[in-house]
Structure 1
């Protein structure tokens, strides 16, 4: 802090004695402050520890700038997976158990009908049952009917067929009860809610998404994603729609990773694919998705700037072609003049050499123009 201390002349004495000299502090941004007002009038003041202080600089005051500590860069927060929600195998039984329970329920219904005497005579003869007059449909018969029917429905209703590459997520009143990855005929508790999940390796080709290159030019990118469901519980219950969540992760990654147009720097496409794969895999892991590859399949300019960028690209190619043609013409002219002078066919001074070079350059350029690129 730049300050200028000025001493005013001592005032003339008064009746009480000589006046006290006023010591002042003054700078370009503040008014005059008496120095003695900054301290206490203690006869023996206790020492005050001094610490280095840096003040902020105001515009036009000439003061030193404030030294600010750079803010620590915080990484983007990644959602944490629910530790209680993890895939575990569900308790299921072989399908033969459900078939046996269904057969027992059907046999119980037939036996109850024969007991009540309501079984048709043809069925009695076919089943070779003894003739029985029947006790009629009473409370006991209805109870037997209900028990046999419930057993049959419970056994046959729980039959399910497991397929390779498919899984069931079981849910009972909103509580996760396990995942079934087994194949073949199985019996699953019919009271459980079943959610079918595809756990095969899948390829997803996105629609054109917004992106940008290293210079900030807007692009439209079609991305090919190779992924699969690793944890069925988190993919089904941890997020509303895991496919929509994966699409949002890809869009967010495209906004953070620059993508180059085809024909750009060598290795730029591979670097962009690796960065996209790393970001999308990290963002989708908490919901049970495993991402193997995220690669740009098609890159093009955004519709609003596509005509201008195409004209710019054509102009750059034309300039490159002209530069290559001019370089080849200059080489041809130099080679021709060198051969003529080296072999002693002509003797040229500086003026004649310049004229010959000019004529040869015009001739070669005209010939290249007629031949085309």
Structure 2
């Protein structure tokens, strides 16, 4: 079965009729008691019985009234059979024998706890996510799962654990182009899709899902920090060397084109070595002034 919208009657009109029924039943009971005391007969007794029956009916009918706030729904069940769902806010009257289960349709947040899991490379990491969700299909939320709130919490934790094992914490080789740390938008979209697949059977729509915490576990955090620092140093050195080689090549070309000085291969090699030392060194170099001949 699927969710179906149930049409119900406005509560105000039926409330007036219900109050009239209460007034008539009280009048019949009171009049019957007074007449029985003064002039005992069958009619006053019948009046008391009729008034009592109307009063019992009034007590039953009063249970048919219910109200709904905005973004709230009521699932109507009659003796175990699903009859429909009311989603429009207001004051209504329906069959008093209906069981009414109210469900909030508002957006809700799950601020997940930190989970200790392993990423794709097997490194222990800490991860947590914030998930925004709401109920869309009330039939599935009530009848397809035992408790849809607990179902959402358990499945969200399972989805986060599964997602963490599909991607590395950081990109360390050319085989991966998506990582948990460096691809936040892609990871958020992947988490949202997986959550929707898991929670769809509970009638839940996932509006947003994002990682709120991501870090290496304390036991390997120091080692991973050193590896990140080493990777950054290597990358920086590579850029420096590439830039230095370009500058040396430009200097030799400029000297040759302008005819400033003619250098043989040995002098070129010495000049390249000196320039690379100056450009790639970590510390400032101390210049040595040559006061001899061109080759001394």
TM-score, normalised with respect to structure 2: 0.72
Q: Relative to structure 2, which stretch is displaced further, 303-312 or 314-323?
A: 303-312
Q: C-alpha deviations, 1:336-368, integer Å up to 9, x for none?
A: 3443344343343343333333333333345x6
Residue in structure 2 matched with residue 230 of structure 1 by the alignment: 136
Over the residues paired in the alignment, what is the CA RMSD in angstroms? 3.7
Tell me the secondary structure at the aligned position of residue 178 of structure 1.
strand
Count of matched residue positions in the alignment of Structure 1 and Structure 2? 272
Post-superposition shift, 1:314? 1.9
Tell me the secondary structure at the aligned position of residue 300 of structure 1.
strand
Residue in structure 1 matched with residue 275 of structure 2 by the alignment: 360
Q: How does 1:1-373 map to 2 (within 5 A)?
A: 85-90=1-6, 92-95=8-11, 96-117=13-34, 140=46, 143-202=49-108, 204-210=110-116, 212-257=118-163, 258-259=166-167, 261=169, 265=177, 269-291=184-206, 293-296=208-211, 298-366=213-281, 369=283
Select the structure that is richer in helix. Answer: 2
- With a CA cutoff of 8 Å and minimum separation of 6, indicate the structure with the bigger relative contact order: 2
Could you tell me which runs of 5 or more consecutive residues in structure 1 were left unpaired when the two chains were aligned: 1-84, 119-131
Q: Is the Cα–Cα contact under 8 Å of residues 6 and 83 in structure 2 kept in the other structure?
A: yes
Q: C-alpha deviations, 1:287-341, integer Å up to 9, x for none?
A: 3223455444553334443332222212211221122223323333333344334
Tell me the secondary structure at the aligned position of residue 67 of structure 2.
strand
Q: Is the Cα–Cα contact under 8 Å of residues 24 and 51 in structure 2 kept in the other structure?
A: no
The 1:99/1:212 distance shift into structure 2, 3 A limit, reads farther
The 1:134/1:152 distance shift into structure 2, 3 A limit, reads farther
Q: Is the Cα–Cα contact under 8 Å of residues 116 and 135 in structure 1 kept in the other structure?
A: no
TM-score, normalised with respect to structure 1: 0.60
Post-superposition shift, 1:109? 0.8
Q: C-alpha deviations, 1:147-167, integer Å up to 9, x for none?
A: 233233233332212233211
Q: Is the Cα–Cα contact under 8 Å of residues 144 and 202 in structure 2 kept in the other structure?
A: yes
Q: Is the Cα–Cα contact under 8 Å of residues 97 and 187 in structure 1 kept in the other structure?
A: yes
